[in-house]
Structure formats: C-alpha cells, structure tokens
Chains A and B, each alone.
Chain A
Amino acid sequence: MLEKPAVLIIGGGISGIQASFDLASRGIKAYLVEKSPSIGGRMAQLDKTFPTMDCSMCILAPKMIDCSHHPNVELLTYSEVKEVKGSAGNFTVKVIKKPRYVDLTKCTGCGMCVDNCPVEVPNEFDEGLGMRKAIYMPFPQAVPRAMTVDKENCIECGLCEKVCEAEAVDLDQEPEEIKLKVGAIIVATGFEMFDARRISEYGYGRYQNVLTSLEFERLLSASGPTGGHIVRLTDGGVPRRIAFIQCVGSRSQRGELPYCSSVCCTYATKEAILIKEHNPESEVYIFYIDLKVFGKGFQEFVNRAKTEYGVEYIKGHPGKIEENPKTGDLIIRYENTIDGKVREITVDLVVLCPALIPRRDNERLAETLKVELDEYAFFKAKDPLFAPINTNISGVFMCGYCQGPKDIPESVAQASGAAAKAAEEIALTSSKGGVDSGSK
C-alpha cells in the first residue's frame, strides 16, 4: 500500500521530542527511538533552565506528554538503531527493542516492584550520586510511565513478578527486531560530559567534594538524591562557600578540546543564583577565563547574579586544588588576573564545569548511517554555513548538541529546522508517488 513515508528520529531529548512533535503536527508519522528507558534527555536532569529560571521538568513534561500521546508519534524507548539501508525517501531501518522485562501495556507505574527489589545500584540519572533498584523508573515523570528491569544487575529473585498486581513483569522477554520504512532520518543524540578526571590537578574522582555541574544539578533537583537540598555528600553539612571552575577540558590545546561548550558560563551563573536562593548567606565564586554569555538576556543574567545576588566572578583559571583530608574542604590556588595576586581560598564544595562532548557512541551510529563525523565526533555538516543541519547523506539531518554546542532554545529551533527539512524530503517522496510501506 503506498503511503506517505515516516521519519525516524534518533534521540529522545528535547531536540528529538521537538522534531517529532513538529512532524506529527503536520501529519507526518514520527518514530522516536531512544536508547534509555524514557525520553527527556538532559533537560530532565536539570533543576531549572536559564535565563528564565523555569523549573525544567515542569516545562519539559507537558512536551513529553504531548509528543508521546500524539497519534502520529510512535515511541520506541529502550531501543537502538542497528542497521540502515536505502537512500533518501526510502530508508529501511532495523531497530532493536531491548527487553525491559515489563509489559508496557500492563504496567501502571505503581512502584510495588521497586519497593520489593533487593538490589541497589548507582543511579545513572543522578550521575551515580544516588541509588536505584534493579527494577526502576529512571525518574518520576518518565515517559513511558513504566518500569524497566536492568538485567545486568538483576539477581532474578522474581520478587517483582510476584508482587506485581498488573502481572506486568515478564522476565522471559526477548529483544525485538523492528523494521521501519522511513523517508528521512534526524539525528538528535545530544551530549556527554568530558571526563574531568583527566584534569588530575583538580582532584575530581579523588576528592569527594569536587563535583561536576551535572552532579550538582542533581543535588539541586527535588527529584535528586538529596531531595533538592544542597549538602555535602561527605558529611551532610551545608556548604557555605562554593566555587565553580569554568573550562575544565574545554578551550584547551593540550590534547583535550579546543572549542567552547557554549552553555557553561550561563549555567554556572544559574546554579550560582540557585545556591544564593537556597542559602543567601553562602559565598559563591565563579573562576572564569572569559565570560562567554552570548545572545539575548545572558549578559543581563550575569549582571543580575553579580548585583542582586552577590555572586563573585574571579577572572583567573585556577592552577590546582588540594584537599584538607580532615575536613574534606578544598583549597584552590588561583591568580586574580585583575589585581595580579596569587592567592589560595578554602571552600566547602567545588563544582567543575567540564567540556560537553558528543556521545562516544556517535561513532557507531555514524557508521550505521554512513554519515561523517568531525574530529571531535560531532556530526559533520554538509556545509557549515549554508547547510548546517544537513549531513553528507541526503535525507539524514541533525539537530541539537550533536550538531555542535548550543543551549535549549537553539536546540529547539534547530529541531524544528530539521523537522522542516525532513518534511521537505517526505513531500518530495510523496509527490513521486510515496513508498511501499511494507511491513512495520
């Protein structure tokens, strides 16, 4: 049966969600494939978004619902793209649906299974700061709202199966191979964090009170391991002095990453303001090289942080961080390049802003799609100026951080751009008579 082809979107973060919804709204079927058990991506991990200071989940969740409930969107969560054949207008895609050992049609998300599961493992959503069970929902607002069993850590005790009143647990589930026929593909795989342990002089991984910004974001979040209270994980104490260090691994020629990650100066300002809101008496320092706050509203955001909240910005990239082993406090050596004095400051908590990098598995995906990556594993634009969201493969587009460093509004705009380009591809194919939908 000939019909209008669908579009495959790889990656269920805000970019993928936006692109799917845009396409669905104009009558084009969108398959949204997401590797983890739920869509939402990085935005779900944030407490607030800059510069409006909206609660991130509060503005994301409605979008997640709208997208997933749209009749033209089919969510394929806990799934991965395995093979892509064909060409623009007529791609055949093999998607593997990993077994979550829970029947999505039956699970109500009640959580009885979680209460009874005896296994605890570090929670990836909390960047390893909190724990989850082997059967889990990644976060309370997950879409789909269902549990997943982490078979690797599951001890197969069967308790979850026993207590589930909806009989939704199925420990015999097998991976499912799904074949899709699509006319266009949009890549929206987002970003990872640079491993801050590589900047060994900052002590990340050795000193417990040195955190990454994403870990700190989880501390700030009400759904996080401390219920939104800013406390030190070493002693539960409230940190009075917190320091942010910008450009950890970015803007670096020494074998790390030379580019600017674009969002860190602004999000550090956001986190600094949040600290001051939680605890007005705290002292917050941001150690920067330059303050890269481009665009509408961001310089004003920083000015507010300085004048209204008293956040202190110090123009000096610290040399080293040492720990006082008795107290867990951290001693930062820095030069305030404005007055030229080298000093030391003791703080209770250090938040590193590491470079944001394209996901490591982009390489495998690029091979599958036959798409080019640049030297940092960002997807490569067909033309950096005039075709920034086209890849070298006709019919394959990209958007969001996997295309290059950008913030949420830019990701959303680019996602709509990719959706428009995909729709164009679909229109072209349809005008030629559509494609044989084959089996789904």
Chain B
Amino acid sequence: MKYAMFWGCLIPAREPNYEVSVRKVMPAFGIELVEMEGTSCCAPFGIQSLDYTSWLALAARNLCIGEEMGLDIVTLCNDCYESLLMVNKMLKADPELKNQVNEILAEVGKEYKGKVDVKNMVDVLYDDVGIEKIKDAVKNPFTGLKVATQPGCHLTKPRRIHFGEREFDVLDELVRATGAETIDYDRRQSCCGGPLRGINDELARDVARMKLISMKNVGAECIVTVCPFCFLELDMSQLEIKRHFKEEYNLPVLHFAELLRMAMGMKLDDWEIKLHRVPLNPLLEGRLQEG
C-alpha cells in the first residue's frame, strides 16, 4: 500500500522522534510512505481563524499534490487531518466552492479535482494492516501496562465528518494489540487544551490538568497519543502543573508509533527518550536492548 505522506509542520520541526518511529514501523507492514514535495502548512484552526478563503486554498493546494502523485494522503497530525479532510469533503460536495478555490489555485498553476482521499495513520493501521497483523508483529508485548489513550478532538470530531464513535475505540484496539491494557476514563473524549497554547497558556494548562486528573483517577500508567499537539500539551503541561499546582501525575506520554515500535522489539534511542519531558523509565524496563 502506497500513500502520499503529509508530515505537517510540527512533527518535522519539534518531534523528529515521531517521524523516525513512523519511518521504522510502517514499512514492516508493507506501507510505503512517499514524500510529498512542496507542501505547505495545512491551515489548521489558527489560520482558519484568520481567513476562510486562505484556509480553503492552502488545504486544497496540498490536496492537489496528492492528486498529482495519484496517491491518497495520509496524515499523522490531527490538525492536518481535520483541515485536509474537511476541505476535501467540502470541495467534493460543492462545485461552486471548488470553482472559487480553483480560481485562486490557478495563480500557482494548480487545479483541485477531488480525486484523492485523506486518511490518518490510525485508520491505515486499523483498516489496511489490521489488528491481527499488528499482533503478529509484536515481539515484546506491553503486558499489564495500563494505557489511557488520547485519540484527540480532530481525529474524532465533528462526528458527521469523521467516522462517528468509531475512532475513539479504534485507537484503543490498536493499543491493545501491543499487549497493553486500555482503560476508559471520563474525559477520554475531551480536548487536551493544546489549541490555546500561545493564546492563553494558563487555560491550556488547566484543560490538560482536567484530563490528567481523570486519567489518574482510574489508575492510568501512561498516555498514548497520535497528535503532536496533544503530545506536547499533555507532556509539557505536567511540568507546569507540578510547578504551579504542586501536583505530580507521572504519566509518561508517547505516540502510538513509538509504543508499537517498542512492542515490535525495537528500542528508542537516547535522544528520542530525552524528547519526552515526563520520564519514560517505567516503560523502558526490559526494552533497552533491541530484540
């Protein structure tokens, strides 16, 4: 299976560990991720807040690249997913809107035709690879590990654009395939607070704290994310919360691709481990050697 890989801005700039894990894990399942040349920001909520037409045009331009490659697009970041998925659906459904956008894209010699679909890594793993193949690839299962998953708002909502309730549970199933236990917590469907970073840091931190409290209340031992914003927010805010509220949650955060990578017997390098603010130590037991 071949996909056009849309990395987005944040992962290459701040979370190369995520990139590395994905590059190591996907080929093992026969998924080829082809680089997209000349992409741009997908236009997530911050840019959408500024201007509607700019959002449509930037997202559509990225979709054109996938169309030119003749491949469906896969994203990792939930915000990229939301933006590209929404615009793709809107333009496919409204020819007038599509024409308006194409007028702008003509400036750069591009034309959106509506020929590709947008997927996210979770769906590719669940639908294309399948739970059984993932289970087969697991050599060092995370047996007994209690995971609180963070599917994230833009993977799952609005439900009429996404698959409905499915996405909340799909990530949990994938995590269970690595041998870990997933636990339900009251605020599983809630926001991490990330979008308010740089706008109102205190509120962002308080929203994250509500999630952490909810996770801790049910005995979670770690958090698994798929979105780089969720990762940064839930990881970094724990330090802030420790300083401000004097509360410690000690919930290491890692991406599903990293969890899967370790479950498959690979090990994270030191530099990758260091990029996790909340120490990963409890998760690394028995996983310091490749095997």
Q: Do chains A and B touch in the complex (CB under 8 A)?
A: yes
Q: Is the CB of B186 within 8 A of A322?
A: yes
Q: Give the residue name and chain of the B residue nearest to A206 (CB).
A: B184
User: B residues 151-186 with Cβ under 8 Å of A?
Assistant: 160, 165, 186
Inter-chain CA distance A322–B214, complex, in Å, is 11
A322 partner residues in chain B, CB cutoff 8 A: 186
Number of interface residues of A (CB under 8 A): 4
Inter-chain CA distance A200–B165, complex, in Å, is 10
Main SS at interface, chain B: loop
The 4 closest A-B pairs by CB, nearest first: A322-B186, A200-B165, A255-B160, A254-B160
Inter-chain CA distance A396–B186, complex, in Å, is 51
Inter-chain CA distance A200–B164, complex, in Å, is 12
B160 partner residues in chain A, CB cutoff 8 A: 254-255
B165 partner residues in chain A, CB cutoff 8 A: 200
Q: How far is the CB of A252 from chain B (nearest CB, A)?
A: 13
4 CB < 8 A contacts A-B: A200-B165, A254-B160, A255-B160, A322-B186
Q: How far is the CB of B256 from chain A (nearest CB, A)?
A: 23
Interface residues of A (CB under 8 A from B): 200, 254-255, 322
Inter-chain CA distance A70–B186, complex, in Å, is 57
Inter-chain CA distance A73–B76, complex, in Å, is 69
Q: Give the residue name and chain of the B residue nearest to A255 (CB).
A: B160
Q: How far is the CB of A346 from chain B (nearest CB, A)?
A: 14
Inter-chain CA distance A322–B160, complex, in Å, is 24
Inter-chain CA distance A148–B88, complex, in Å, is 58
A254 partner residues in chain B, CB cutoff 8 A: 160
Q: How far is the CB of A404 from chain B (nearest CB, A)?
A: 27
Inter-chain CA distance A17–B165, complex, in Å, is 43
Inter-chain CA distance A254–B165, complex, in Å, is 14
Inter-chain CA distance A405–B186, complex, in Å, is 35
Q: Give the residue name and chain of the A residue nearest to B168 (CB).
A: A200
A200 partner residues in chain B, CB cutoff 8 A: 165
Q: How far is the CB of A342 from chain B (nearest CB, A)?
A: 14
B186 partner residues in chain A, CB cutoff 8 A: 322
Inter-chain CA distance A322–B189, complex, in Å, is 13
Inter-chain CA distance A298–B135, complex, in Å, is 61
Inter-chain CA distance A423–B186, complex, in Å, is 58
Q: How far is the CB of B181 from chain A (nearest CB, A)?
A: 18
Q: Give the residue name and chain of the A residue nearest to B190 (CB).
A: A320
Q: How far is the CB of B187 from chain A (nearest CB, A)?
A: 9
Q: Give the residue name and chain of the B residue nearest to A201 (CB).
A: B189
Inter-chain CA distance A322–B217, complex, in Å, is 13
Inter-chain CA distance A255–B165, complex, in Å, is 13
User: B residues 173-214 with Cβ under 8 Å of A?
Assistant: 186
Inter-chain CA distance A200–B160, complex, in Å, is 15
Inter-chain CA distance A255–B161, complex, in Å, is 13
Q: How far is the CB of B186 from chain A (nearest CB, A)?
A: 5
Q: How far is the CB of B270 from chain A (nearest CB, A)?
A: 40
Q: How far is the CB of B260 from chain A (nearest CB, A)?
A: 28
Q: How far is the CB of B210 from chain A (nearest CB, A)?
A: 12
Q: How far is the CB of B153 from chain A (nearest CB, A)?
A: 15
Q: How far is the CB of B43 from chain A (nearest CB, A)?
A: 26
Q: Give the residue name and chain of the A residue nearest to B218 (CB).
A: A325
User: Interface code B225-237, partner A: CB below 8 Å = 1, 0 otherwise?
Assistant: 0000000000000
Inter-chain CA distance A322–B190, complex, in Å, is 13
Q: How far is the CB of A318 from chain B (nearest CB, A)?
A: 15
Q: Give the residue name and chain of the B residue nearest to A200 (CB).
A: B165
Q: How far is the CB of B276 from chain A (nearest CB, A)?
A: 30
Q: How far is the CB of A199 from chain B (nearest CB, A)?
A: 12
Inter-chain CA distance A400–B38, complex, in Å, is 65
User: B residues 137-160 with Cβ under 8 Å of A?
Assistant: 160
Q: How far is the CB of A215 from chain B (nearest CB, A)?
A: 24
Inter-chain CA distance A254–B186, complex, in Å, is 23
Q: Give the residue name and chain of the A residue nearest to B164 (CB).
A: A255
User: Interface code B120-149, partner A: CB below 8 Å = 1, 0 otherwise?
Assistant: 000000000000000000000000000000
Inter-chain CA distance A254–B157, complex, in Å, is 13
Q: Give the residue name and chain of the A residue nearest to B214 (CB).
A: A322
Q: How far is the CB of B190 from chain A (nearest CB, A)?
A: 9
Q: How far is the CB of A330 from chain B (nearest CB, A)?
A: 12
Inter-chain CA distance A254–B160, complex, in Å, is 8
Q: Give the residue name and chain of the B residue nearest to A203 (CB).
A: B186
Inter-chain CA distance A255–B186, complex, in Å, is 24
Q: How far is the CB of B51 from chain A (nearest CB, A)?
A: 28
Q: How far is the CB of B28 from chain A (nearest CB, A)?
A: 35
Inter-chain CA distance A289–B194, complex, in Å, is 32
Inter-chain CA distance A322–B165, complex, in Å, is 18
Q: How far is the CB of A329 from chain B (nearest CB, A)?
A: 14
Q: Give the residue name and chain of the A residue nearest to B165 (CB).
A: A200
Q: How far is the CB of B214 from chain A (nearest CB, A)?
A: 9
Inter-chain CA distance A244–B19, complex, in Å, is 50
Inter-chain CA distance A155–B186, complex, in Å, is 42
A255 partner residues in chain B, CB cutoff 8 A: 160
Inter-chain CA distance A200–B186, complex, in Å, is 12
Inter-chain CA distance A200–B156, complex, in Å, is 15
Inter-chain CA distance A353–B165, complex, in Å, is 23
Inter-chain CA distance A200–B189, complex, in Å, is 11
Inter-chain CA distance A254–B161, complex, in Å, is 12
Q: How far is the CB of B237 from chain A (nearest CB, A)?
A: 22
Q: How far is the CB of A132 from chain B (nearest CB, A)?
A: 33
Q: How far is the CB of B8 from chain A (nearest CB, A)?
A: 30
